[in-house]
Amino acid sequence: MNTTRWLGLGITLLAPTLWVPATAMADTLEAVQERDSVRCGVNAAQPGFSSLDDNDQYRGLDTDVCRAIAAAALGDASKVNFVPLDSVERFAALQSGEVDVLSRTTTWTSSRDTTLGMNFTGVSYYDGQAFMVASDLGVQSAKELDGAAICTQSGTTSELNLSDYFRINNMTYDAVVFDSPEQSIAGFEAGRCDVLSSDASQLYAQRIQLADPNMAVVLPEIISKEPLGPAVRQGDDQWFNIVKWSLFAMLNAEELGVSQANVDEQLSSENPDVMRLLGQDGDFGEAMGLSSDWAYQIVKQVGNYADIYDRNVGADSDFNIARGLNALWKDGGIQYAPPIR
Amino acid sequence: MSVRPNARPAGHKPPFWRDRAKRALIFQCLLIAAVIVFLFYIVGNVQDNLSSRGITTGFGFLNNTAGFGIVQSLIDYSSQSTYGRTFFVGLLNTLLVGGLGVIAATIIGFIVGIARLSPNWLIAKLAAAYIETFRNIPLLLQIFFWYFAVLRTLPSARDSLAFGEAFFLNVRGLYLPEPLFESGFGLIPVTFVIAIVASIALVIWAKRRQEATGKRIPAYWISFALIFGLPLLVMLVTGVPITWEMPELRGFNFRGGITVIPEFLALWFALSIYTASFIAEIVRSGIQAISHGQTEAAQALSLPRNLVLRLVVIPQALRVIIPPLTSQYLNLIKNSSLATAIGYPDLVSVFAGTTLNQTGQAIEVIAMTMAVYLTISLLVSMFMNWFNARVALVER
């Protein structure tokens, strides 16, 4: 084969790769159905939200959100391809189309929503940043942390909140920034820093992983709002709706008393709200390009919000985190979903 | 003017495509044009795609407030500084660990490389063991080893190892007294510079004198005495215009003085020790590349062993050593980007890590970071090529 032919072959092979980006954003649902799996960006190891269990299956609140999306879009909650991402890679992975949805304890902020070409679809967990300190320091409040060395993770909102909090309280600190939670906890255990700072839920999970959980306490102050939720690429409203309503469906199911355990009985319910949710009355899936039993599949295969909360971070888990802000609005929390009708 | 016998008569020039030089020129122009068009297409394509996805582009973000803290900074930095400033903080931290790493690796490497050729069995085997151990363990693991092994052995801030009342070592790092210069201190650096200039002049003069007359004076010892003695003398005469700020345990940590963070120490050790094992092999191969006859000839002149090395072997070995040494320096500087794994705030960790994340300007940030490493590497190569040309023996 001579040089010219090699050149021609090269151009033929290269050309399509140059045009791909322009079309990759179009129809996510179609791409997902064609592939027969949802690619979901998650944490590699954050117990309670996304981590591998003994059978190498991802377990956690964030991963159950992915499963709910798969149940709605494909009718099968197991058709999820989990892509572990670190906090630095996550946005690029979503922007470039490597994942269809990012469900990775990502805080919804204005700049992320408006400048990164992505849309947050809702809040799957209301969190806030807190501090964990070694118990033998005898610190009772975050206001006593002047001059402390603080381990945190790079590329997170935690880094920014820390700086704000210490500045407004006229305190100084040394930021020791690691690029993974494993290393920041190792730094904390080795005594490199006095304080580990992150979202409260993550701190509770990390505390349990310590060799001796009693060596550390989580301080009561919550210094920031951290609404964590799934995000999708801008420009595909249909997929945006699917992800948004998959989460709302789980919240509505909890509110209506439809759970994974009783969903089959509820199919014969006379309550019009339940009938609409489960597709017995009207077809609210059609407008999203889904089947009419999309919400039934979510609740049947994954559960309602209370199911996934209790299973992963709540009463039935090791962490036993109280519902708090994450209780439904009618139970004193702020989880509230628009109705399905 | 001579005329070539087969020159064609004027007016019958061959068509330009038959002229090899012109053909080559045309092809090169075409290639350059194709590359430019390709680049324009790529840049345009990226911009179109970014804007169609609602992703902000441009370098405007560099003027925004960064809002995060950095644990080690050689220039003034606070969380109120701009993202542009984080770039320089990261860059200087990279240069610091890279520069000190190059110096330490060179010193260790030369010592170990020469030790490896020592006639003393024990020294030679120890050097060989050093090289084989550190050369064959991945650098990232060595960084983790130094970081966590060292961290876990050191005591907490309250039980620091104290050396006198001035130096403290604990898990947070090494605390040193910081010199505070009083008025009148300005004389000392001036004398220091004068001493250096005088020493250089002395060495040149001594060399010429030796070449002309064969007489030698201990020029290096005299320079040494000049460079250290003169500033010391001035300091004593002016009444030691320095006060030392001692580190003091207050609250959680030591305050005051200079802090050397453990991330820096771990990274510096790991980079120096790892690269030194390669440099040692380069030095050994350079020395062994010199025919043994050279050494024997020098010994036949009854030169002592250190002069055989310094005057005969090393000058010839250097031209074998320097080109691969350059690659090792470049490797060391580029490897310093592994800093991000242990949280040392280098360019990759601060700028291509945190800044990238907070702003989301991946393409701009990564392009700037790559440009920096490219520039540093090219400058180092340039310097080493110059140095090589300077020290290489003139071939006869």
Subunit contact A160:B151, Cβ cutoff 8 A:
no
The ranges assigned to domains in chain A are 27-126+228-330, 129-224
Query: Is the domain B90-158+263-348 a CATH 1.10.3720.10 member?
Result: yes
Q: Which chain A residue is nearest to residue B350, measuring alpha carbons?
A: A154
CATH of A129-224, one of 1.10.3720.10, 1.10.287.1080, 3.40.190.10, 3.40.1410.10: 3.40.190.10
Per DSSP, B77 falls in state -
Q: Which chain B residue is nearest to residue A186, measuring alpha carbons?
A: B148
Q: How far are the Cα atoms of A64, A225, A332, B239 from residue A325, in angstroms, in the given order?
A: 19, 11, 8, 67
Q: What is the pLDDT of residue B336?
A: 94
Nearest to A177 among B41, B79, B349 (CB): B349
- B360-392 burial, b at 16+ Cβ within 10 Å, e below that, comes to bbbebbeebbeebbeebbeebeeebeeebeeee
Three-state DSSP state, B327: helix
Q: What is the pLDDT of residue A333?
A: 93
Backbone angles phi, psi at B259, to 5 degrees: -110, 125
Subunit contact A177:B356, Cβ cutoff 8 A:
no
Nearest to B55 among A116, A164, A173 (CB): A116
Q: What is the pLDDT of residue A14?
A: 47
Give the tokens for residue A276: 């609409």
Q: What is the pLDDT of residues A164-198, one digit of tens each?
A: 899 899 998 888 888 778 888 888 888 888 899 99
Q: Which chain B residue is nearest to residue A187, measuring alpha carbons?
A: B148
Q: What is the pLDDT of residues A76-104, one digit of tens each?
A: 999 999 999 987 788 889 988 999 999 99
Burial label, B135 (beta-carbon count in 10 A; 0-12, 13-18, 19+)? middle
Mean pLDDT for A50-54 is 92
Nearest in space to B190 (alpha carbons), one of B141, B138, B154, B235: B235
Which residues in chain B are contacts of A159 at CB distance < 8 A? 68-69, 354, 358
Angle separating helix axes A237-255 and A61-74, nearest 10 degrees? 110
Q: Which chain A residue is nearest to residue B170, measuring alpha carbons?
A: A192
The ranges assigned to domains in chain B are 90-158+263-348
Burial label, A53 (beta-carbon count in 10 A; 0-12, 13-18, 19+)? exposed
Burial label, B355 (beta-carbon count in 10 A; 0-12, 13-18, 19+)? buried
Higher pLDDT, A245 or A210: A245
Subunit contact B343:A156, Cβ cutoff 8 A:
no
Q: What is the pLDDT of residue A156?
A: 78
Suggest the residue from A174, A188, A236 to mutate for an interface test with chain B (most B CBs closer than 10 A).
Answer: A174
Other beta carbons less than 10 A from residue A82's beta carbon:
23
The pLDDT profile of chain B, 396 residues, written as one tens digit per residue, is: 455 555 555 566 778 778 888 889 999 999 999 999 999 999 888 888 888 777 778 888 899 888 888 888 888 888 889 999 999 999 999 999 999 999 999 999 999 999 999 889 999 999 999 999 999 999 999 999 998 887 778 887 777 888 877 788 888 888 888 877 777 677 788 888 888 898 889 888 888 888 888 787 787 888 888 888 888 888 788 777 777 878 877 777 777 778 888 899 999 999 999 999 999 999 999 989 988 898 899 999 998 888 888 888 888 888 889 999 999 999 999 999 999 888 899 999 899 888 888 887 888 899 999 999 999 999 999 999 998 888 766 655
Subunit contact B341:A233, Cβ cutoff 8 A:
no
Nearest to A179 among B67, B340, B359 (CB): B340
Q: What is the pLDDT of residue B356?
A: 86
Q: In what order do the strands lie in the sheet with B161-163?
A: B161-163, B167-170, B173-176, B258-260
Q: Which residues face A216 on adjacent strands? A: A134
Subunit contact B354:A159, Cβ cutoff 8 A:
yes
**Alpha-carbon gap: A25 to the closest alpha carbon of chain B (Å):** 8
**Integer Cα distance of B343 and B333 in angstroms:** 17
Per-residue confidence at A276, pLDDT binned at 50, 70, 90?
A: very high
Per-residue confidence at A37, pLDDT binned at 50, 70, 90?
A: very high
Q: What is the pLDDT of residue B246?
A: 80
Domain A27-126+228-330 class, CATH top level: alpha beta
Nearest in space to A236 (alpha carbons), one of A100, A116, A111: A100
Nearest in space to A230 (alpha carbons), one of A59, A65, A51: A65
**Alpha-carbon gap: A128 to the closest alpha carbon of chain B (Å):** 18
B15-20 long-range Cβ contacts below 8 angstroms, 24+ apart: none
* Chain B stretch 20-79, residues whose beta carbon is closer than 8 A to a beta carbon of chain A: 41-42, 45, 48-50, 52-56, 67-71, 79
Three-state DSSP state, B175: strand
Which residues in chain B are contacts of A146 at CB distance < 8 A? 251-252
Nearest to A88 among B42, B253, B357 (CB): B357
Q: Which residues, 6+ apart, have CB-to-CB distance to A108 below 8 Å?
A: A120, A123, A227, A228, A229, A231
**Integer Cα distance of A141 and B28 in angstroms:** 70
**Integer Cα distance of A197 and A295 in angstroms:** 37
A19 pLDDT more than 70: no
CB–CB contacts below 8 A, A to B? 129
Mean of pLDDT over chain A: 88
